[in-house]
Each structure stands twice: as C-alpha cells, then as structure tokens.
Structure 1
Amino acid sequence: MILLKLTVENFRQFRGKQEIQFFTPSKEDANVTVVFGENGRGKTGLFRAIVFCLFGERRLSQDGDVPHDELQLVNVSALEANPDKPVKTVVELEFSHRDSHYRLRRAILGMQDDGRIIEEEDEIRLFVTPASGNTQQVPTTEINEVIDSILDRRVKDYFLFDGEKIERLTRASIEQRREISAGIRNLLNVDALETAIKAVGRVTRGLERELSGASHEELSRLLKRLGDNEEEQTRAGKRLDELAHEIRLARQEIEKTDKELEKFNEIRHLLERRKSLEQELSELEQQAAEALSEMKNLVCKASALIVAPTVISVYEHIDHQKQKGEIPSEIRRDLIERILEEKLCICGSSVCEGSDAYTHIIEWLKRTSDVSTQDAALNLWRYLSEVRNHFSDDADLTEKRLQQYGNIRSAIANVNRSLENVSNQIGTSERHDATKLDEHRKKLQENIISLEANARVTQSQLEQLQQENDRLRALLKEEKLKVGRNDELSRRSILARDTQDALNDIYSQFTREIKDMISESATLLFRDLLDQEGRENLRTIIVNEDYSLQVLDRYKKPFLANISAGQRQIMSISFIAALARIAARGSKIEIPLFMDTPFGRLSYEHRQNLINQVPTFASQWILLATDTEFRRQEAQLLKNSGKWGKFFMLRSTKDGNTEIVEQDISSALAILRDEEAYQ
C-alpha cells in the first residue's frame, strides 16, 4: 500500500480544502515525506484523517478515554462562520495497492446546536482502477471488506509510531506486557480458533456441572475447586486489566500535567522577567515620589529664580551706591542739618550762604538719606548678597532634580512598555498554579507506584492460580477416569476438557511462533539501528512468556535495565517495526509508516541510522517532526540519502487554523536550524 495523495476539507485544524501529495511518479525511490510543524499544528491530525478515511474511526490509541463526543472532526472556524448551516467535512485518500489505484472518499456533516457540535456520517465512496484502466465504484456495503483486505484495521495502530507508544514499550511494566500482548493478539488473526475455544469451554462447563450433580463426592469437590479457581483467575485477569487501565490513565494525566508544566516552563523566564520589572517599577515609583517631595521643598528657592534678574539688578544698584559711598552716607544727615542751621562747621569755621563750602554741604545733604532708609538698604544689600550667592547652587539643584525626576518618569514609561510586552507574551493564563501542578504530578506518580505494586501482586496471584488450575485439572482427569470408565457423561466431559486443552495448546504454540518471529525481526532491525557501541554490547530482543520485552547482551544475559534512553527508544521502534513487517506478511513493510517525533532521545548516530535504514525496510515513511526533532543536520542526512521526496510545512493562520504549504526540499536547509541553536 502506497499513499499517493490526501485531501482534507474543513477537517480539524484544516479549514477549507487542502492537500498533501505523498508520492511523485518521477521519483519512485523517494519514499520519504516530511511534514514539519510546531506541536498542535495538526501533524497527528493528518494521520487521524487517514484512519478516519480508511476505517471511519475517529479515535486513535493515544486518545485514551477521551469521550467520543469530544473527538470532533469538523473545523470549528467553519462552523462559527456558518452558525445556521451544516458544514461538510471531507477526507479523500488516493493510494495504490498491487497495481491498482484506489480513491476513497468519506464525509460527515457537522452543525452547531445550542452550543453543541453534532456530527453525522454523510457519504462514503470507493473507486478502484485496476491495471486495465477501467475505473469501477465499489458498492457501499463492500467498501469495509475491500479496505480490510488491504490493511487490516486491527493493525492500523502499528503504522503510527507515536511518542506515547514508544515510551510505553520502554518500561518493563504491566503496560508494556499489555501493549505487546495486544499487538501480538492483533497479528494472530485467529478469530475462529478463539471462538472454538470459547464454545468448547461453555460445553465443558455445562457437562462438568451435570457431572458434579452425580453421586461422586470427590469428583464434585474437585469440580467445585476448579470452578472457584477459574473464577478467581477471571477476576484476577480483569483486575490486571483494570490496573493496567488505571495506570494508563494516570500516565496520561501525568502527560497532560507535564504539558501544562512545559507551558509554564516555556514562560518561566517571562514570569521571572515580569516579576523583576514589577519590582523595578515599584522602586522607580518610590524614587519618583521621593524626587517629587524634594522638588516641593525647592519651591521657595526655585521661585526666587524667577525674579533673579530683578534681585541681581537691585543688589548691583545698592552695591554701586555703596561703592560710591552714598550708602551709607559719608556724613550723617542730622550733622549736616545742624551745620547749616548753626552756620558753623565742626572745625569752627563759619559757613555762609552762597559760599563754596555752603554749596558743597548742600550737595552732601542731597546725597544723604535718613538713617532708617540707609539701614534698610544695607540690610537688603546683605540679604540680596546672600541670596545672589545661592542662585547658582539653587539653579543647579533645581535643574538636577528636574532631570532626575524626568529620567525616573522616562524609566517608568520604559518599564511599563516592557511589562506590557511581557504580559502579551505570557497571555491570559498566568499559570500561578505550577506548584499545584507539581503536587498533583507527585500524587499521580505515587498512585502509579501503588498501582504497579498491586499489579505485581495480582500477576503473582494469577500465576499461582494457573499452577493450581493445572494441578486440579490433572487430578480431575484422574478422578473422572476412576469414577466414569463406563460413564457416558464422564467420557464426554473428559473429551470436552481434552479438546479445550488441545485448542489452547494450539493457540499457545501459534503465539510462541509469532513471538519468535517478532523477536527475530526486531533483533535484525535493532542491530541495524543501533550505534557502534550498542552493537558491541547488545545482541537480541526477546518477547518473554509473560509478553514483556527483554534485551540480551553479548553474554546472553538480560540487560534491559542497563541500556540508555536512546537504546530503549531504538528497541521500541524495532519492536513496532517488526510488528508492522509481520503484519505485512513479508520482509518489507508494505504499509506506510508514520513516525511522530521519533528522534527525541536519540544520539546523532542513532538518528543517522534511523534516517538511512527506515526507507530501506518500509515502502513509505511519513516523518512528522518539530524543529527540535528535525534540524538541519537530519535534513542534510535525509537529502543525501536520495530518499526524500516531499517536504510540507504546517503554518498557523490568523484565525488559529493550519495551512499546509509545500516547500522545495532544498529550502529545508535554509528554513531549519542547526543543533547549536538549541543548546
């Protein structure tokens, strides 16, 4: 099966009609398509579109227990733009399989109703064009059968490598065993055998109930104990499933919590920056208040600067008079007036009117003033002299305070702008509940530890019950032979039990063969994908009897607990690829492999091996990557391999949707960043 083209219309994040062409006929060997975009832009949504188109299913394995009505497929923006009209969502997939061309179209109608979104199936069509070139439309009732013959829906989850599945397979836990068991169960394709085992089991229990009513005390006792034991086994098995389910839910909740914490971590530097800016703003506001208070104290002095020219002029005038001796007068006014009255100078000479001496004395009298006026003038001169001396200092201080206050207000304005910018980057979610999220995560982790401990106890109990079951069956068989050699009911009961055991043995043998096939295939892939150091130390991947995975070292000793995170991821990828290869019934994986950000914990050599090897054992590889996963180094490796055919970018639009944009492969090297950019 080769995917050729996917067309989506109003599907999830993709508003309007958009398409991805996976395959170029002129480049048949270029079987790698890279879909590049940020988390949340719709990379997994494209895989969901393919699964929906092929099987009519909207749920993926990573959706967990998300309610069905929350898995909406119709584009919300299209619904909001047409509030009273139905919106049609269409997914069309073109693919080839064994020289035939297929075009599958599936559509649903969605509509808003009182705040709810209602979706219902609208159409499904399948057109097949064989090598002869005569296109035929497959009847609607036969479409599912045709698709299942090409790709069994039970193995659909094994052509998507998502981070969650890879992570589950790296843990030696009940989740790992359940995941592997489910994968192998889907590969067995033994529905008829399982139906036969269940049917024979019902017959056996019915016969044994009849036999227990006979007058055989020991036989009745054994049958009751066996029945009780099998009921306990059933309960223990259900309890294990419940524990695995609870652990899975807890891990999903941890994953959701981690995503919230990651969002918090993404803005941690912004929150710290905002806190620092708010502290700086508080300090600046305090400085501005103090500067303003100091400026108020300078009002009187500063106001004097307004009349400074007048003050200086008055001072200079008085000082000039003082310099000339007019203030204070050289001779007191009362003395001059007494001389003029007595007409007698202090030296005893007479002063007659009209004489030169009289004229000079009159001139003196004109230049003198009364004592109070002269004292006031002298006091004003002294005060103005002091004031004038402070003018320069007061002017400098006032100017300094004004500049200081202006600088503070300018700094406040800058901080406010920075705060607004940081707040816009942070958004409306303050995420002050990070501490609560951490506490919630710790409680979830503690709960998982408790659940896993209970699972180990339950698993041990189940193993003990199975051993007791085997023992009781052997005793029951002997007792039936003792009491019923000539008893038709006993012979029929023994035959039914033997038939059930034989069918279970066949099932177990088939399961062991599949396990061995998976181990062999996974080991070959593992050896190809490992780096040099890993190939020297690690040898084999095996699937244990209890469905757990194990890695053996060169001495054939269990080594899983000691391998690195990158080696664990390579082990998981090898196992899932082995499942896909066996599902394809060949040495080459004939179904498209989607890998969602598979490079997370891998070293450069592991990445290099993955890029070089996957295109050789997969018919088609669609790599869903982010900028931290797919960098310039990986792009160069992939380009050099000659297997890279298509490159698409998922870009955010103004309305929050996603636009699919095809880019030339050579442009990727300019778009992507180097590894150093992430250090």
Structure 2
Amino acid sequence: MIIKKLVLHNFRVFHGTHEIHLTPQNNSQHQKPIVLIGGLNGAGKTSILTAIRFALHGRLAFDGIHQTRDYLAHISALINHRADGTSSPAEANVELTFTYNKDGEESEFTVVRSWKRDAADRLALQQNGVPLKELNYEQCQGFLNELIPPGIADLFFFDGEKISALAEDSSGQLLKTAVKRLLGLDVIERLITDLSIFTKRQNSLQLEETEQLKLSEIEAECDRLRLSIEQFRFSADLAKNRLDFIAGDIRKLEGTLAAQGGAFALSKNQEQLVIEELLKEKAVLERNLRHECEGSLAYGLAPKTMRTLLRQLDGESESKSVTNFSEQLGLFLEKFKEGLKSSPEKIQTTIKEMMESQLNNYFSSKPSTEILLDISDRETGIINHAITHEAKQSWDRFHIAKGRLAEIERALEDGARNIERAPDDQQLLNLFTKIRDLDKKRATAYDEYEHLLKNIKLTIVKQLDCERKIRKLHDSVRSNHGSTTAVSNASVTISMLKDYAEALTAARVKKLEKNFSDAYSRLARKDDLKITARISPDTFDVELIDQQKNVLNRKALSAGEKQIYAVAVLDALAKTSGRQLPVIIDTPLGRLDSVHRQNLVDNYFPFASHQVILLSTDTEVGETYFSKHLSSYVSHSYQIEFDSNNLSTRILPGYFWSYAGGLN
C-alpha cells in the first residue's frame, strides 16, 4: 500500500482545501521512503494522522466512542469552526488516495468521507477512478476494513502517546490486545460464532411445536432482557453524568469558599483552642523563668567576678587554717619551753633558735590572704556548688524555656492572623448550605447510579440464564434427532477452526518473539539491557527476559529503555502481520535522550516500511539529525504553520529552515 494523496477540507485547524502529496519520490540510486512533515505543537500534525485514520475507518478510528450521539458530537468537533457560515450548513470532508496490491493486482482507491455538523458522515469509494456506487455505506466501510483492518492499522499508524502508553503499561494488557488483533483471532471467533448461530437455527427447525413455542418465548425474553440492559445502561450513563455535574458544582462552590477564606473559617475554632493551650503553656514558662532568675541563675551573669570570689574564699579559708594552726602551735611551744627550763641554758637557746627558724620558714611559704568576707567553710562550700554546678544547670533550663517561649509567641501571632483572616460565620453560611444541599443530591444520585448498575448485573445474569436454556433445548434436539449433514459439517468446521487458531497462534507467537528480539537489539544502546520476549500462546501474557534468563519487571526499565521497548514492540508486530502498509508516526522522539534518538533515526525510520510519514517538531528532528542522518532517506518534506489570527493552518514545502525538498 502507498498513500498517494491526502485532501483536507475544513478539517480541524485546516480551513479551506489543502492537498498533501505523500508518494515517496525515490531515485535510481537510493530508496527514499520518508516524507517529513514538520510543525510546532498545535500546528496540526496530529490532525493529519487523525484524518487518515478517520478516512479509512470512520467510527473505529476513535477509541472509547460507542454511542451514535457521542460519535456525531465528536465528528462535529472536527469541523473547522471558521467554516460555520450563516448561509450554508457547516460541512467538512477528507479524501485519501492510495494504491493497494491484492492478489497480485494493484488498484488505486480514493476514499471520500464527508459530514455536516450534528449529522452522520457519508462515505464514497472509487477504484481506479470508477465510483463503486453499488456499495452502500456499510458495504464501503466493510470493504475498507477488509483491505486495512483497524486492529492492524493501529500497528502502523500511531503517535508518541501510543508509544508512551505501551512503554508505561506495566500490566501488559495493551500488548496482549495488540497480539490478539495481530493474529486475527477476532475473525476466527466471529466465524465460529456465525457457525454456532447456524447450528442453533438448524436445530430449532427440528423442535416440536411445543418446544418451538417454548424456544420462541425464551428468545423473546432474551431479547427483552437485552433491551432492558441497554435501557439500564443509558439511564446509568445519564445518572453518571448528573453525578459528574453535581460533583463539578460542588468543586466550584468549594473553590469559592476557599477564595473567601473558608479554609480559615473551618479551622477558626481549632485555632482558638490551640491559642488557649499555648497561653497556658506560656504562663507556666514565664513562671519558670522568674523562678530561675530568683535562684542560682544570677551566679552565671558575671563569670569573671564569680571566679574572683571563689579564689578569695579559697584564700581566706586557707589563711584561717594557717592562723588556727599557728595559734595552736603557739600554745604548744609555750608548754614546750616550760619543759626546757630544767635543761642547760645553751641547749635551750639552741633549740629555741632552731624551732623559730623552721617555723618562720614554714609560715613564710604559706599564702596570706586578707580576710574580707570571713564566712564559714560550710557557707563557702554552698557558694562554690551554686556557682560551679547549679548556675550552669539553671542557665540550660533558662535557654530551653526562653526558646520555647519564642516559639509560642510566633505561634500565637500566626494563630491570631489566621483568626483575623477568617470571615464571619454568617458570611459563609449561604455557601455552606449550598454545598450541604449538593452533597445530599450527590448521595441520592450515587444511590441511583449504584441501583442501576445492580439492575444491569441482575438483568445480565437473567439474560445469560435464558441463553443457557436456549442452548439446552438445542442440545436436547441434537441428542434426540441426531444431526443433519450441514449441522454436522458446521460442528466439524468449528472444531477445525479452533485447532487452526491454536496452530496459527503458536506459529505467529514464535515469529513475533524473534522479530521483537531483532528490533530491540537494533534500536537499543550498547549499555542498555539485552532483552528478549516470551509470549504465552494460551494467555498472551508477555514476559521480558534478560541475558541471564531472568524475568524482568517492566517498571525496572529506564525511561529510555521503555520507549525503545515500545517502538521495538510496534515494529515487531508490524513485521509479523505480513502487511505491506505505510508507517505513520506522530511526535515519536519527545521523551528520548540523544543516544536513543540517534538509534531510532539511524536504525528505525529509514527501514520501518517502504513509506514512512514522520510528523515531527523542530526539537525532535532538528537540523543536525536531518542533515547528518535523515536527509539521504527523505523523499520530500512539508512544513505546517498555524496562523493564530485566522485560526487556520497552511502547508508549505520544506522543513523549518532553508531546505525545501521533493516536489518541484
């Protein structure tokens, strides 16, 4: 398949008609598969990808849209709002021309999808310039779905968000879904279902009249239950919308309440209680500080003076000891001299002189301090302990209490400001009342929503029970009347299809594992983990295996490894599908570092397919990447520019700078 041309008319940011020629212009020397389309964010790159997918697949191009009214609202939003004139209804269309080779024969198809605001889209299809008028809308869409199945197209037409979602999918659910679509099991399952319906219809013809009547009643009940389920679901959607609207109104009122000081009002009473506790603690601290000031704290106010006082007290104590000793010694000497009187006078004189000389030497070595304070040793000990121990402990307690008092003062100031900010209760009473009423409505709406969900579950159970009864009747017919040839063939075919699905799954899974390993090794950096994939053919669970055969947790991969892993998965899925489709990638490099980007530019873009349409910003594929890595593979390029004055985008040849390649 080659996409030759895309025409946009009043589509999203594209006002008027715009043609984009997309056929790669290869030369004889080198294949140039890349068509590069550059644009800043918001210029309309994603609109091009959306237009191609919408042209091909209609409603199936959009995820999460199931109801017709949602689809009509969505496609109405795709119309450029400048196209809404007053004299004619707003209308838009997209036209896609592509070639497709089927059964060895190449044909050119042109798809034109047009629609008006709040109306269903119309679809026209041409083959080799001839309109296929015999096909209605459903047949045209079915034909396109057969050519390019939506599930397969998702593997070739994707954007950076799909890469990111696949990279961050720790459960592996997205990959399992992609593998199932790739294998085409949905087609086999649909065929099995159709054959099962055929066998049931054939069996019903063999029922007796009473059994047919019973079967008709059960089938009618089954249809009624199916309709009830749809009605319950519709009502549940409405209830959910009401619930969302009420929640939105509550959020708005809560925002208004917060803007008017509601948060302070809610905490006003709490602030007042906290302030009361702080004031009590403040009074206790102030009393403790006064107690410290009245006690030993004063000794620490003049440490030098206190040291001088202690030296004076120590000196006086020692001087007193010397004086007391001298007095006692004097009394002793007087008695000693009385005892010497019986000795010769010369001996008395010699002893007295020796004693006086020794005593003078002894007392002259003792310090002499003037007695100023004259306090007892007990009082000196009390003062010494107070200065050296109690004063330090008192200072420590004083500083702790002082610091806590400062914290309390700041907390009291903050609390006072918060109370001042709080509006009067009467001022917010109206808002509180509205919020309370809406809370009641929300509770009622939630109960209604839960009740509808329960009804849906109960009705589904009843429907399943009816279907079991229908199957039981058919089974009884087969056992009583045997099988016709057609029914027998259908049963055999169902068994064969199941075996075929199993064999196909095993073969494709092995090929997918190999393609992933090849793609990841080609795209990863040298220092990245070397990983392979292991896929269960029964459950489609996907495990990543490192070089040591350990199963990896996807969360353990770095951000760059996750992105490369996702691109490798998409490349492997595309290669395994066996389809020759173009690859369209929107903003592919936004979350990659420079080395991973270069690997992708060198080893993926030029070889992803025979036609690669890149939708990029100037920061993703910059001038360096283009000139050194991509230029030899680029067929031609476009630049899309958004005019904020006209709210429209225009398409120009070239790519951001002076280069203008391709179409001349």
**TM-score relative to the length of structure 2:** 0.49
More relative contact order, 1 or 2 (CA 8 Å, 6+ apart)? 2
**TM-score relative to the length of structure 1:** 0.48
